[in-house]
Structure 1
Amino acid sequence: MKVNHGYVRRLSLTHDQAATLEDQGHAARAMWNLLHAWWMWGGKNRRPSLKQADEAIRQARKDIPWLADLPAQAAQQVLKTYVRAWKNCWEGRASAPEFKSRVRSRMAVDVPQGRDLGVVRLSRHVGQVRIPKVGMVKFRWSGPIPGVGREPGRVTGARLVKDPLGWHIVFRTEVDKPTPAQHRGPAVGVDRGITVALALSDGNDQTHGAWVRPKETARLLRLERKAARQKRAHRRGEPTSNRLRRTYDLIAKARAKVKRRRGDWQHKTTTSLAERYGIVVVEDLRIRNMVRSAKGTVELPGVNVRQKAGLNRSMLNEAHGRTVELLAYKLAERGGQLLKVPAAGTSQTCSACGHRDPASRKGVVFVCTSCRWAGHADSNAALNILNAAGLAVYGRGAEAIGPGREALTTRCAA
């Protein structure tokens, strides 16, 4: 089978190279917005052909000279990405495309042809890549890249992305691998929470420390207060001052480091789970519905709004949806399987006797009101998640069981 992956590397740009990429990024965003305005001119139900859209962007590049800063292949990729976004909307997988804001959107430029990159390794920690209209650019060699040197596979393209920490290049790669054999590891239920990040039904819970360190928290608070003072001095309608912009950039860099720290933990943890377990069972959570605001309306105001807002921030800070996405593809590559079960009742049901009572859960402690079984609430939920999948674990491997039988696990009550 063909396995596609992306490898992110940090670019080392000169001042002129960074300025050129900035121009290309602004041109790509403007191309998207012009294409969206042309597409929506006839209403949402308008469906022009790809040929008509291609002629429109070619004419735009002639009429607006600075759009030529964007390479022609990158402009074509903007068109393909935009059309794909509409197809995802029509098929119900995403919402309709919108205009890209200069402030809130992430700057990105595509290099669709991998053969034009000319990736080489110069030393132990330095590599080099050719970027259209920029030239040869060095990047941080933080690991092997398929298709470069003796590594099997090929580089199919790249994407240049700018985040608060600078410009990065994402190499798109393709590797031919044999179809993996079925993973013979055990099955496990996983409950995603806040107190315990990932509670496993076999007791091998996965936790982490605070994403933000104490000194970083204090510095971020100082920066946010500074931005608030500078914003009060800003008059409506005037451009943002350079000082306020620099403060916003420092805040964004601090938060980007936290996001990168969380992503590193997620990758390492999901890789460990995918290598150890053959079947991973999780709840089918509707996270978007779970983190909705509790403010309510003027006629029906919400209750405990501040508490719910804090809970929403904690849930979003864990990024549980991304954890499941990482688990899904890593399990598939190793012959494993990810199963989703309904989330209703998993935290209120006793894993020992099956009695369901909301009064059994008291914070992080679960005490069954029927059989008096006691344990951690997240561990109890993980056992229920595994039981809901109808799997029995016998040493190695997992097999389906018939209705009316209870899944066996090695988890003991705490």
Structure 2
Amino acid sequence: MISSQCVSMASAAIRQARKEIDWLAVLPAQAAQAVLKTYFQAWKNCWDGRADAPGFKRRFRSVMSVDIPQGRDLNVTRVHRRWGMVNIPKVGRVRFRWTRDLPVGSHANKENRITGPRLVKDALGWHIAFRVQTLEPRPEPHTGPEVGIDMGITVPLALSDGDTRTHGEWLTEKEAAKLLRLEQRAAHRKRFRKRGERTSNRLRATYDQIAGLRARAKRKAADWQHRTTTGSPRSTA
């Protein structure tokens, strides 16, 4: 088991490193503490038999993400209806797509505020997600009938009352044809690569295009799931 003494020694080592290393001192202290907490939790899960021993993340098998624990110095502003600006440490002012209301300016207070963002990179580029602390009214108790949901293949969602939810193809006909063509090209180029040989730039570019199309389809699927669970009129599109 990880004792509190080990945690205190590791925290002291991080504080000392922040005094000696300039670039580490610029980063928020909570970021280093969060990494330390995750590391200790990984070993605890291993010793409890819930997971394997922690190791280094593989570059191409993990999602690249950066947590910014503090929301105090973000200075989030809305430029106009579709775009906003945020201050990212060590990066500067960054523009992002404004997709929903955020508690900024006069709408922000101790009970309704942004506590920090998370930067995530996928095949379509970098994205930012804000953590928001807000007070929501207690929902009214549900008094309607209970409905069971069955997830299938022929019918995506079938309800116990006889209703169903369906969706169309995630990719357009042109995008599906392009995906098939790229997959065939990648398979053809991979046949000529020798064992242990470094992946060529052309093959890597083809893989990136394939990942971009698959990420687009995955995003459409997630959007359909959100709209269906919230009862949006576009959920059956």
TM surpasses 0.5:
yes
Letter in 2 for 1:199: A
CA apart distance, 1:127? 0.5
In 2, Cα distance between equivalents of 1:248 and 1:66? 38
* Residue 71 of structure 2: aligned partner: 114
Structure 1 counterpart of 2:107, from 140, 150, 157: 150
Q: Which residue of 2 aligns with 1:244?
A: 203
Aligned equivalents of 1:101, 1:62: Cα separation in 2:
30
The answer to whether residue 139 in structure 2 is matched with residue 180 in structure 1 is yes
Shift of 1:242: 1.1
- Read off the aligned partner of 1:245 and give its amino acid letter: R
For residue 71 of structure 1, what is the aligned residue in structure 2?
27
CA contact (8 A) 2:81 2:98 kept: yes
Task: Mark the CA change 1:57 to 1:105 in structure 2 (over 3 Å): closer, same or farther.
Answer: farther
- Within 5 Å, give how 1:306-325 maps onto structure 2: none
**Gap runs ≥5 in structure 2:** 233-237
- Give the TM-score normalised by structure 2: 0.82
Tell me the residue number matched to 2:98. Answer: 141
CA distance in 1, matches of 2:35, 2:173: 42
Structure 1 stretches lacking a partner, 5+ long? 1-44, 274-414
Equivalent residue number for residue 129 of structure 2: 170
Higher-RCO chain (CA-CA 8 Å, sequence separation at least 6): 1
Asked whether the 8 Å contact 1:126–1:139 carries over to 2, the reply is yes
Equivalent in the alignment of 2:235: none
Aligned residue pairs, count: 228
Larger radius of gyration: 1
Q: 3-state DSSP class of the match of 1:176?
A: coil
* C-alpha distance in structure 2 between counterparts of 1:124 and 1:151, whole Å: 19
Superposed CA offset, 1:21-49 (max 9, x none): xxxxxxxxxxxxxxxxxxxxxxxx77672
What TM-score does the superposition give when structure 1 sets the normalisation length? 0.49
User: For residues 82-231 of structure 1, what are the structure 2 equivalents within 5 Å?
Assistant: 82-87=39-44, 97-147=54-104, 150=107, 153-231=112-190
- Identity in percent: 57
Alpha-carbon deviation of 1:237?
3.1
Task: Answer yes or no: is the 8 Å Cα contact 2:71–2:115 preserved in 1.
Answer: yes
User: Kindly tell me: are residues 108 and 208 of structure 1, through their superposed partners in 2, closer, same or farther at Cα, counting changes over 3 Å?
Assistant: same
Query: What do you get for the CA RMSD once the two structures are aligned?
Result: 3.0
Q: Could you say if the C-alpha distance between residues 219 and 189 of structure 1 is closer, same or farther in structure 2, counting changes exceeding 3 Å? A: same
Per-residue deviation, residues 46-79 of structure 1 (Å, max 9, x unmatched): 767223333555677899x797498253333222
- Cα deviation for residue 141 of structure 1 reads 1.0
Structure 1 residue 93 displacement after superposition:
6.5
Query: How far apart are 1:194 and its partner, in Å?
Result: 0.9
1:117/1:129 contact within 8 Å kept: yes
Q: State the distance in 2 between where 1:159 and 1:174 align.
A: 14
The letter for the 2-side match of 1:201 is S
Between 150-159 and 183-192, report the one with greater CA deviation: 150-159
